[in-house]
Amino acid sequence: MPDSQQSQPIRQLLAGIKGFRARYYERRPDSMRQLVTEGQHPEILMIGCSDSRVDPALLTQAEPGELFVVRNVANLVPPYQPDGSYHGTSAAIEYAVRSLGVSHVIVLGHAQCGGIQGLIRLRTGQTTDDDFVSPWVSIAGSALDPYLGGTGNEASKADAERLQQNPGVIERAAIRTSVDNLMTFPFVRERVEAGTLSLHGWWFDLESGELWATEGKSRVFLPVE
């Protein structure tokens, strides 16, 4: 492949950075200067998927400083586990809640999530050769339990076919599991119970562009008008 073709993606990114600089540093310098001198004060922590099609800032058209974002495979929240190991997502949650004092946490999932497809394959007995993805997505393993005909880790071929035909059900169930896991963090639970922090589950439909969300204490996803 010629060098010009190999460098095209990088050239496109560099052009984007120039455009960003022109829009914010040249046309609106005061807003960026304020972010530099006063620091960031976002009100929302967004926990999104690493999928390249679902960028939280692009989807919401957020401005610099409005969102504190952490992204991972399948937008998962692990349970609270302060064991001294490496916990990137948990560190982001702690920083956003304790240090930045966000008032909302949104778990943003989406249709056609490869991580959730991997979880379905894992729970239905298909073999994998990855080192990190399978253990990671197993965080949401319990989300599949109500949809499996067997018990525990048992799942039939019919289960696999049914779930793969309607993965949105599992994608939304995994979001609920992540919201539940947020409540295992003591500093999250304390603020939720005090009324200073609200938790939200969002699911974005890539095909239609519609957003589905849980409302209040309800665990039911409904389309957002």
- Kindly report, residue by residue over 188-212, the tens digit of the pLDDT: 999 999 999 999 999 999 999 999 9
CA 103 to chain centre: 17
The CATH number corresponding to 41-223 among 3.60.15.10, 3.90.580.10, 3.40.1050.10, 3.30.1700.10 equals 3.40.1050.10
What are the residue boundaries of the structural domains of the chain, listed by start? 1-39, 41-223
Cα 52 from Cα 77, distance rounded (Å) = 19
Average pLDDT of the chain is 92
Q: What is the pLDDT along the chain (225 residues), one digit of tens a residue?
A: 455 556 999 999 999 999 999 999 999 999 999 999 999 999 999 999 999 999 999 999 999 999 999 999 999 999 999 999 999 999 999 999 999 999 999 999 999 999 999 999 888 888 889 999 999 999 999 999 888 865 555 566 677 777 777 889 999 999 999 999 999 999 999 999 999 999 999 999 999 999 999 977 788 999 998
Q: Which residues contact 124 (CB under 8 A, 6 or more apart)?
A: 155, 156, 157, 159, 160, 163
- Kindly report, residue by residue over 113-130, the tens digit of the pLDDT: 999 999 998 888 888 899
